[in-house]
Amino acid sequence: MKIVIDAMGADQAPGVEVEGAIQAIKEFGYDLILVGDQERVEAELKKHKFRSDKLSVVHASEVIEMHEPAAISVRRKRDSSIVVGMDLLKKGKADAFISAGNTGAVVCAATLSLRLLPGIERPGIAICIPVLTGTSLIMDVGANIDPKPMHMLQNGIMADAYCKYILKKDNPTIGLLNVGEEESKGTDFIKESHTLLSESKLNFIGNIEGRDIYSGKADVVLCDGFVGNVILKVSESVVDTIVQLLKREIKVNIIATIGAALASSAFNELKKKLDYSEYGGAPLLGVDGRCIISHGSSTAKAIKNAVKFAGESIKQDVNKHIIEELESY
Amino acid sequence: MKIVIDAMGADQAPGVEVEGAIQAIKEFGYDLILVGDQERVEAELKKHKFRSDKLSVVHASEVIEMHEPAAISVRRKRDSSIVVGMDLLKKGKADAFISAGNTGAVVCAATLSLRLLPGIERPGIAICIPVLTGTSLIMDVGANIDPKPMHMLQNGIMADAYCKYILKKDNPTIGLLNVGEEESKGTDFIKESHTLLSESKLNFIGNIEGRDIYSGKADVVLCDGFVGNVILKVSESVVDTIVQLLKREIKVNIIATIGAALASSAFNELKKKLDYSEYGGAPLLGVDGRCIISHGSSTAKAIKNAVKFAGESIKQDVNKHIIEELESY
């Protein structure tokens, strides 16, 4: 099992990627390839005095920065870590690719290089979130910010397969995120998506609202990539804000300070549940290959967990199940 | 000062509207008109044994339910509480209208009856949210779920006036909600909105992301009504979920239980800050009249605070300032 890591992707690249890769080799024993500026990557490796025949470095002279337009930069920067890494996957020299870099560029490179699964017109990113009843899947969280209704149906089918075979949920419920529960609500795009999903074989439970996401009303929350991206970032930020506001309130009250110290174990457990880095990455579904998208602000721990997640993805082979589902339509 | 309340709007109508109106009269002394099913409203008044010449009831035989399509129901149900209430405002028999009912229907009735301010093509709902630096305004949170870029500019101008004259902020910063900070990011709709805002006289700080909302990066967060609606509902739901998860964690740990009890004053202060019912309602900006939209799940306290908010809106006369701003463009 061989996993390629884009070493230049995260905000703290290549430090976090190198450290995460070292931790992952020690913990899981996978073979890893770091793709990026060889000199910088090796300087990081030196810091950790790490050598292993399980780790190799492939040089890529260019980096696609976060601010660069996706399609143009993928076409122009043929020697970027994203394009070179994706190429290794394409050529069968690796079984999965992980990047914390420019999401649009990863999606674009994956689509161009790996190609799409038969029946899929656009890929989508599915992410697991902790909800009151366990775990739900939001799709899409940023691959396709301006989808057509047909893409929502395709995302529904892919998310359904993911839920069944990876999250082991029987007959997962699929909800369409809208501004109200009623069929009459929403934009034309949402109404058309609703019609397509209603007519499908999916266990479609209709429209759900923003408040229903974390209560776990649906196993799969379908939304366009723009809305999904906003939901994720807002959710993270609400958690941070609550913690900060609570700290302020607690500071002015000595009894509350003692109380908070005593309750800290509960806080830490909760923090762990909500901590993005525990998951590490989200699969890009719909491309013919295993591609994991990590957070730009990934820590070494997040990269390590992305490797763990990539390893599981290789074993589970979700694409086989997605293709079977698509063929049954 | 006379304020009309749609007595049939909230999920718990007309109970919460009647109780909220009674509290408001006792606390603020405004003259109130409750519009709705006379028999049901008077039965509620009887429960509270309340009589006052400051409170009158206007009968409306119909109710526009939450699930009804907005435009059609406003045209058909001419004797609904929303249409009758809006008519009282239109005819100058009241200075403000409050409804916790079908938002789309209120927006539609306001647009048809009160008409729009010169230079405004669609109204928008602006809502104040607590952020780390104080208060920010999100606009729109549900009046216009499929706006044109020009509506985003118009919302920007209205929100700017609201921030300056009501929230008393000098030169408020205006941010456009997007999936990334870079100008190249987003849908065509967002890019065109970005261009219009950049060329305006507003203090436009460019794109902001979901994570920037609660950090208070911008005084005004501009987004379409679909996204704004989702943000509000997701935020509320994250707070609720954290509280519930924390309760679960605390339950299994006796020391944490004691700690949480000691820290409860801090929790309660925070809860108050985040509590929607403390604000009561959000203004519908862009219509030629004062229209306050309240939450469907409003409590009596929320209705009381919506009346307080309506009273302040009458004194502040934000429309005068919006018209001045629009004329300067």
CB-nearest partner of B235 from A232, A238, A256 = A238
Pairing relation of β-strands A291-293 and B55-59? unpaired
B301 neighbors B295 (Cβ within 8 angstroms): no
| C-beta atoms surrounding B99 within 10 Å | 33
Count CB-CB contacts under 10 A for residue A198: 12
Token pair of B45, please? Answer: 């008044």
Does B245 touch chain A if contact means CB atoms closer than 8 Å? yes
Query: In whole angstroms, what is the distance from residue A139 CA to residue A148 CA?
Result: 14
Separation of alpha carbons B33 and B64, rounded Å = 19
For residue B100, give how far its alpha carbon lies from the nearest alpha carbon of chain A (Å): 15
Tell whether the model's pLDDT for residue B37 goes beyond 90: yes
A36: left (phi over 0), alpha (psi -120 to 50) or beta: left
pLDDT above 90 (res B177): yes
- Of A166, A170, A178, A238, nearest in space to A206 by CA: A178
Per-residue confidence at B116, pLDDT binned at 50, 70, 90? very high
pLDDT for B277 equals 67
Instruction: Provide the residue-wise pLDDT of chain A in tens; the chain has 329 residues.
Output: 999 999 999 999 999 999 999 999 999 999 999 999 999 999 999 999 998 999 999 999 999 998 899 999 999 999 999 999 999 999 999 999 999 999 999 999 999 999 999 999 999 999 999 898 999 999 999 999 999 999 999 999 999 999 999 999 999 999 999 999 888 889 999 999 999 999 999 999 999 999 999 999 999 999 999 999 999 999 888 888 887 877 777 777 777 777 777 777 766 766 676 666 677 899 999 999 999 999 988 999 999 999 999 999 999 989 999 999 898 87
- Number of CB pairs, chain A paired with chain B, less than 8 A apart: 202
The answer to whether A71 contacts chain B (CB < 8 Å) is no
Tell me the pLDDT band of B265, cut-offs 50, 70 and 90: confident
ipTM: 0.91
State the pLDDT at residue A147: 98
**Is B241 at the interface with chain A, CB within 8 A?**
yes
Higher pLDDT, B57 or A277: B57
- Cα–Cα distance for residue pair B314/B307, rounded to 1 Å: 11
Q: Which is more confident, B175 or A281?
A: B175
Q: Is A182 on the interface with B (CB under 8 A)?
A: yes
At B196 the pLDDT is 97
Residue of A nearest to B68 (CA): A184
The shortest CB-CB distance from B187 to any of A145, A187, A240 is to A145
Assigned token pair, A163: 């839920």
Average model confidence (pLDDT) for chain B? 92
Residues of A in contact with B127 (CB under 8 A): none
* Cross-chain Cβ contact B182/A235 below 8 Å: no
pLDDT over threshold 80, residue B264: no
pLDDT at B72: 94
pTM (predicted TM-score): 0.92
- Tokens 């630096």 sit at which residue? B133
The pLDDT value given to residue B28: 96
pLDDT on residue B274: 65
Residues 6 or more apart whose CB falls under 8 angstroms from that of B165 comprise B316, B318, B321
pLDDT at B249: 74
The whole-angstrom separation of Cα B5 and Cα B86 is: 10
CA diameter of chain A: 63
pLDDT bracket for residue B250 (50, 70, 90): confident
Indicate if the alpha-carbon torsion angle B14, B280, B122, B323 is positive or negative: positive
Tokens of A8: 């230049």
Chain B residues within an 8 Å CB radius of A222: none
B317 or B64, higher pLDDT: B64
Residue B171 has pLDDT above 90, yes or no: yes
Contacts of B253 in chain A (CB under 8 A): 265-266
User: CA of A204, closest CA in chain B: separation in Å?
Assistant: 19
Residues A161, A329 contacting (CB under 8 angstroms) = no
pLDDT at B86 over 90: yes
| Interface membership of B266 toward A (CB under 8 Å) | yes
Write the residue in B210, B239, B260 that is nearest to A232 by C-beta.
Answer: B210
Q: Which residue has the higher pLDDT, B65 or A258?
A: B65
SS3 B55: strand
With beta carbons under 8 A apart, name residues in chain B contacting A188.
146
Select the residue of A131, A238, A245 nearest B273 (Cβ to Cβ): A245
Q: Which CATH fold would you assign to the domain B1-120+286-317?
A: Isopropylmalate Dehydrogenase (3.40.718)
Scanning every residue of chain A, which has its alpha carbon at the shortest distance from the alpha carbon of B274? A242
CATH superfamily of A123-279: Isopropylmalate Dehydrogenase (3.40.718.10)
The full set of domain ranges for chain B reads 1-120+286-317, 121-284
Give me the architecture of the B121-284 domain, per CATH: 3-Layer(aba) Sandwich (3.40)
Asked if A258 is an interface residue toward chain B (Cβ–Cβ < 8 A), one would say: yes
Element at B231 (helix H, strand E): helix B225-251
Chain B contact for A49 (CB, 8 A cutoff): no
